[in-house]
A and B are shown apart, each in its own frame.
Chain A
Amino acid sequence: MRKLLVALTVVLLFTGQLLAQKTITGTVTDDKGNPIPNVSVVVRGSNTGTVTKSDGSYSLTVPASAKALIFSSVDMATTEVTIGSQTSINASLKSSDRSLQEVVVVGYGTQRRKEATGSVSSVKGSAIAQKPLQSFESGLAGKAAGVQITVPNGVVNNPPVFRIRGTNSISLSSYPLIVIDGVPTYTGDQGATSAPANALASINPNDIESIDIAKDAAASAIYGSRAANGVVFITTKKGKVGKARVNYDGWVGFTKPTGLPKILDAQQYVDYKNAALNNLKALVPATTGSFIIPTDADGKPINTNWYDEVYRNAFSHSHNMNVSGGTEGTTYYFSAGYTNQEGILQKNDFTRTNVMLNVDSRVNKILTIGGKLSYSNEKNNIGGSSGSLPGEGFASAGAARLAFALPPNVSPFNNNGTYNYASATSIGSQGSIVNNANPYTFNNVRMLLDLNRSNNEVNHLQSNAYVQLRPFSWMTLRTAYGIDNMLIDNDIFFNPYHGDGPGTGTGPGGAATASYSKDKTWLWTNTIQLDYTFFDNHNFSLLAGNEQQRRTTVGFGINRRTLSDSAYDVVQAGFTTANPAGTSLGENYLLSSFGRLNYDFKKKYFLSGNVRQDEYSALGVKKGVFWGASAGWEITKEAFWGSIGLDKIFSSFKLRGSYGKVGNVAGIGNFATFSTYGSGLYNGIATLGFNVVGNDKITWETSKKTDVGFSVGVLNDRITADFAWYKNNIDNLLLNVPQAPSAGVPGNFVFQNVGTMFNRGVEVSINATPVVKKNFSWSSSFNFAYNKNKVTALANGLTEIVTATSSLETVNKTVVGKSIGFLWVIPTGGVDPATGKRIFYNAAGQPIYYQFGSPLPPGQFTYMTANGARYEKTNADGSKSPLSINQADDGRLYRNTQPKYIGGWDNTIRFKDFDVNFLFTYQFGFSIYYGSYAGLRDQRFWNNSTDVLGYWKKPGDITDMPKPIYGDNVSNGSAMPMDVAVFKGDFVKLRTVQIGYSLPKSLVSKAKITSARVYVSGQNLGIISDYPGPDPEVSANGNTATSAGVDRNTLANGRTITIGLNIGF
């Protein structure tokens, strides 16, 4: 700070020199003649300047030597006017909608894109507004190079997988830092129920002005220890001076599920399962029973389509109203929104009510104050569980799984109208019996959907206030205080009869959980910004600041079990046992100082440096310095460029490069440095035991980022393009390093900074306006990104990180030399045409034939070699014991789950009063483990895909469906994952289409409205992919970095059609 003061004093001395002067006045207007306030008017090559008033007028005293005035404003193209002898200069600014002329948010300030040397992608708020999304980031897919968005399923308000330039951490968060109006906010599912509560859903997408995505070290280093995954800056809408504008936007939408697997009907099911059962009877004569089709109350055969019980055609609607305007330096933007969106899963709803107010007031030439108040209430409801959230993949109550696995020959209801269930875990078999028992050990999903709930309600308050002083045109002092408070109520109820609720006791069972969590952030930021030009051409911009961020979390709740009265369904009612639930208490504090220096010479050579020192309470080594440096060269400004004629082709050509070091602390526990003793009970008496090993040496993960690229404009910037090559070397990865269990440390691991990984890639984005005519225009934007991810080191004693899906099935392994979360499955060799057996390959590559059944007839073995002998090993004492195929010994690292190529193609066409927008997104070069595929071929009582009907029937049959034997869960891949369930995930998706019609001005003005537009849009309309599952955009494990690319019992995505209306007054 002292150094800053010295610099400041020097600057002040410079400005003390006064010269001969004259005064120039004028008005600045836009191309329609409307006055523009707040335009910066500066004498070229000096720091003398002012800003325009609300009527667009200005008055500026300039030195006699002044040659030209430069007029500049956000969203406007900068204009330069020669002064000459004039004393009155009016200027007209054109609005700039070309990307290179935009302003980009760079953290604690903005920068003109032309002058930015960091790698920043920008998306306008309008691009994601008016869509049936719950949160803005779901709409970013395909919109920016290197930004990967995967919307994993059709559960409403589920956070998408969000990656910038690949996955940049193994065990910490890989989610970018999201900064909303200067305040870093919460991300991810913050609820504690089966209905996800994406923290970012509190931002109404319609209130967003712009989204700027900082990708390299130069652009993100100002956020230091939190920048490794990139930084996303959200700027909400502000008012503009002028008459109040009122806008209404509303839509109604209809969503239906797409891509559901085709499954057997009751007749097919009964025929197929009986065939499988007969095959088992032939092997194991003791087997008895059969599957039947019972009749319903009307005497008709039961044929239940469980899809109808689980899915629905959903209806959604949304209404947004905003008022903006301003007078005499005070501007305001107020909005209110309500949206109710039904999921395609029955009982799954998202409701948001939100208001936001942005006010900025210029008190006088020097002082500006303002602030934001944003409140959002969200209700996330679900009946039971979708089975699609991380950890739910194998939930026996998972609705998506039950929809295709429940047998079609049973009904959700008995013929007397009561629910059909046999026990807590089994639906009634209604007559089908195997081995004297009900074979149907799945839940009746209808009952769970009707009687259970797993809801949460979020109250989210995001607010800030600032005071800004501009004592000189080149100096800005600002202090801002912000809060971000998330208060969540969780409400879970399990019915006492069926599913997860019934207890083992004799009472009615039932369970209810209520918990409350309170996450609070306050943030105080102080900055000083100096913009100064020396000797006409040396432009300096210096930022210095400090910031404190405090986060606290408090959670408490109760879990009550065994209802006193089976009619109760709320936690406040009578229950016989109670346990604490959802207790948490945490705090952290981040103390930072930072600075940035931008320099350019004649807007030709650019240099920029960012530095930030962070001290973070949760770390052992608390203090770190992060930085990024970059340089740019606008070649078109060089004389030789014109001399060789390149200026006729390129309107701009800027080379840039950056390097820097940033960190990642997201996901480190607040008290991970402490070794602690925890409280417990010994028959109800308090105990205290050593239960956590801390590591007081832990520190941030480090990302060293290099970025080299260039930006070009061709044909007067009608085509612009950005190219970037980047490398991100990550080291000090924080991993739970396993310790030998005999050391006995709690958890058998110690959290340590070990391990390295890199992401390298190339990005291209091209924006073009191929056609601009009065009545017809077409603008197009295409982006492409290639990324290569590789883990280069783990830890001593940690050669692989094996990550299970819902702790039951393991198909992901992270090993050195491969990309993170590689698929790990057992190789197979199809179905033996002679016997109909599944062929597995063991680690030695030998074919091993699997035979289900126990006890097997003489001469038959569970695992047989090609010559019909038992697959066995010889023990040390010479005896033999049978061997089996198993994943630990025979599994193979098979394919990558990280997409290599991602991108999108966005087009907008205007024809007279019509506009059409369509967006394609694509991802290539990755594979998916389609776990549901195994379930859909399971030979237990589970319903199957119609694919099974081509099963092996007689010797010589060539098929991929083994001879069905009732109970076989190995040949299909349920017991251990097989390579045949791995598919290429490559896809091209027609993600959105919108067709709008703006009512003619002549018509709307009669109705006393400014503008009116109606539109029809579609989401998720078409897909080109060889992937056989519902949707190749999957993530059964949410944002978990090490277990991507798994589709296990996941709810399908929906296809949505909306009809909307937008009216401006």
Chain B
Amino acid sequence: MSLGLVLLTSCHRELLDPAPQTSVSDATAFDQPYRIANQVLSLYSSFKNGNFYGGRYIVYGDIRGEDFLLEDGNLVTNADVWNLNPTNTANAIVGLWNQVYSLINNCNVFIDGMNEKGTLVVGTTIGNTYIAEARLLRAIGYYSLLQYYARPYADGNGAKLGLPLRLIGIKGAGASDLARSSVAEVYTQILADLDFAETNLPLTNGSNYNNTTRAHRNTAIAFKTRVYLSMQNYPKVIAEANKIVPAAGPFTATSGVPHVLQADYTSVFKTPYTSLESIFSVPFSSSNGDIPGTQNALQGYYYAAATGVGSIFSLNFAGIIGNTGWTATDKRRSFIYTNPPGTKKFLTKYPAASPADFSPVIRWAEVLLNLAEAKARTTAGVDAQALALVNAVRQRSDATTTLAPATNGDLIDAIMTERRIEFLGEGLRNNDLMRLLQTIPSKSTAGAKAPGDDGYTWPASSTEKSLNKLWVDN
């Protein structure tokens, strides 16, 4: 019997409480400065997921517009987005919603953790910098969702239904139900986040690479020009831009990272991708988990192979590439590949399969054109600074052309055309149409969508609708 008693007492009760060794428990995630630093980078990783800035979000912005044609009618690769008729279970509808809210919750969980413990570990200065980065990414997340799932701000000055505004980290069940805040309320939060970011981010991150791949003060200011433009709050666009854009050329940023247009447009999209023009871009490597993933990468959508064959979208001859004012010698046309029979054209901005080319989030050229547009829309006649800004962008790629609009309307048209040329394949087209409540033009077999049409905005994700009991459709 004594043997039996020895046996009975020899159990290993400690084995009943194992801890995972391949991940970090939430109890200790904010214990060490390096862990907190790594967490900040994971927010960027979430941001560059293939469903968001890793590719698809940019693609949606381009293909909803009129400049691209569908080459592969596969729903998995956004044929329905191009057709402007995705259902509420479509890959795009569900995927973007899920990923951006995943990013937002990651930011919220991180901000909560910093407030509870993390800031004590790393100190207030660094802590606020980290929180500022998280809030900037959260702001871009909310902004990006608004452009697709909610009515434009211009439709009722933000009074329409916006998004469920989630600002507290969720780490368990039971938080599904939350009503939508108004569009204006969400914009208010976005701007609060960006203002905080502007105040707390460093002027520079110390290297071109870090200045391109992580947020600094000018990132927040630059993004605010985009946000205010979407709200048609042109005076604020001008106010924000004026913080860093000088009154006259050369338009080099006056404080923080000295952003400036690169002499060679194509160099912005080539290794090392970290020119002073790239305010914010996201990088990729060839490692698993650090790649855009199958059917997400810009390369696969626009220029899948050296011949363009297999690309999911080609360029629309009737789109911006047919613009006669865009001269053949314009450097930006060097990104257009024509197949030998001349029947197809493809955009070659993102030719690299692995590692993928950096995805651009915001460039200095956009800040300049945002300012130009805001000036043009608030000043009668042909505003001199606006004209100088748009010509700076044009002549960097086409030195022989000087834009000379005669009227205010011509100036605005010139700026809008310049945006389509300059940002082709960078996902801005959809947002530019919608912020102005313009009809999405037809292309090939896909019909136009007026602001009142079904499909002008996206339907709610079916899972959100069924699981969030407080959800109300647009």
Contacts and interface: CB of A to CB of B under 8 A. Distances in A.
A683 B285 contact: yes
Interface in B68-93: 85, 87, 89
A745 B25 contact: no
Nearest to A544: B4
A681 B285 contact: yes
B307 interface: no
B101 to A, nearest CB: 4
Interface string B15-52: 11111111111100100000100110111111010000
B16 A589 contact: yes
Interface string A876-905: 110101000000100000000000000000
Interface centre among B21, B172, B452 (most CB of A within 10 A): B172
B102 A585 contact: no
Contacts of B413: none
A680 B290 CA distance: 8
Q: Which 10 A-B pairs have the closest CB atoms?
A: A744-B105, A689-B42, A740-B176, A589-B15, A683-B283, A687-B42, A676-B23, A688-B38, A681-B290, A740-B468
B146 to A, nearest CB: 13
Interface string B325-366: 000000000000000000000000000011000000000000
Contacts of A591: 11-13, 15-16
B5 interface: yes
Contacts of B11: 546, 548, 591
B324 interface: no
Contacts of B467: 738-741, 797
B29 A526 contact: no
A738 B18 contact: no
Contacts of A580: 288
Contact of A546 (B8, B29, B353): B8
B175 A689 contact: no
B264 interface: no
Interface stretch (B116-124, B163-171, B237-245, B370-378): B163-171
B42 A684 contact: no
B13 A671 contact: no
A680 B4 contact: no
B7 interface: yes
Nearest to A479: B7
A674 B25 CA distance: 7
Contacts of B283: 682-683
19 contacts: A504-B354, A526-B8, A546-B8, A579-B288, A587-B15, A588-B18, A589-B12, A617-B16, A675-B171, A677-B42, A686-B38, A687-B38, A688-B41, A695-B173, A740-B178, A740-B464, A744-B101, A745-B172, A797-B467
Given A677-B24, A688-B39, A875-B454, 13 more contacts: A477-B4, A675-B26, A676-B24, A679-B38, A680-B45, A682-B45, A687-B42, A688-B29, A692-B23, A693-B171, A740-B464, A742-B97, A888-B87
Contacts of B173: 695, 737, 739, 745, 750, 752
B175 A743 contact: yes
A859 interface: no
B289 interface: yes
Contacts of B19: 671, 674
Contacts of A79: none
A742 B15 contact: no
Interface centre among A505, A591, A689, A695 (most CB of B within 10 A): A689
A577 interface: yes
Contact of A743 (B42, B170, B353): B170
Nearest to B76: A808
A680 B42 contact: yes
Nearest to A581: B288
A310 to B, nearest CB: 28
A550 B41 CA distance: 37
B85 to A, nearest CB: 8
Contacts of B25: 674-677
A640 B268 CA distance: 101
Interface string A281-294: 00000000000000
A528 B290 contact: no
A653 to B, nearest CB: 41
B417 interface: no
B177 A740 contact: yes
B42 A505 contact: no
Nearest to B100: A744
B289 A681 contact: yes
Given A676-B25, A741-B467, A750-B173, A684 B45 contact: no
A871 to B, nearest CB: 15
Interface residues of A, number: 71
A660 B42 CA distance: 49
Interface string A454-485: 00000000000000000000000101000000
B18 A689 contact: no
Nearest to B209: A683
Nearest to B23: A676
Interface string A785-824: 0000000000001000000000000000000000000000
A514 to B, nearest CB: 16
Contacts of B423: none
Contacts of B163: 742
Task: State which size class the interface on B falls in.
Answer: 35 or more
B417 to A, nearest CB: 30
A750 B42 contact: no
Interface of B: 1, 3-5, 7-8, 11-13, 15-26, 29, 35, 38-39, 41-46, 48, 85, 87, 89, 94, 97-98, 101-106, 108-110, 163-164, 166, 170-173, 175-178, 213, 283-290, 304-305, 353-354, 445, 452-454, 461, 463-464, 466-468, 471
A1007 interface: no
A750 B286 CA distance: 31
A615 B12 CA distance: 12
Contacts of A854: 445
B39 A677 contact: yes
Given A526-B7, A742-B468, A615 B16 contact: yes
Contacts of B18: 587-589, 617, 670-671
B70 to A, nearest CB: 12
A834 to B, nearest CB: 29
A677 B26 contact: yes
A528 B3 CA distance: 12
Contacts of B15: 550, 587, 589, 591, 617
A693 B166 contact: no
A744 B20 contact: no
A104 to B, nearest CB: 27
A746 interface: yes
Interface in A580-595: 580, 583, 585, 587-589, 591
A588 to B, nearest CB: 7
A686 B41 contact: yes
B454 A679 contact: no
A738 B461 CA distance: 14
Contacts of A741: 94, 97-98, 101-102, 461, 463-464, 467
B60 to A, nearest CB: 17
A695 B42 contact: no
Nearest to B299: A504
Interface in A636-692: 670-671, 674-692
A879 B452 CA distance: 11
A1022 interface: no
Contact of A745 (B170, B288, B353): B170
B205 to A, nearest CB: 13
A682 B176 contact: no
B82 to A, nearest CB: 15
Given A741-B463, A877-B453, A682 B44 contact: yes
Interface centre among A583, A683, A693, A875 (most CB of B within 10 A): A683
A198 B289 CA distance: 31
B105 A743 contact: yes
Contact of B41 (A479, A615, A685, A797): A685
B29 A677 contact: yes
A888 B466 CA distance: 14
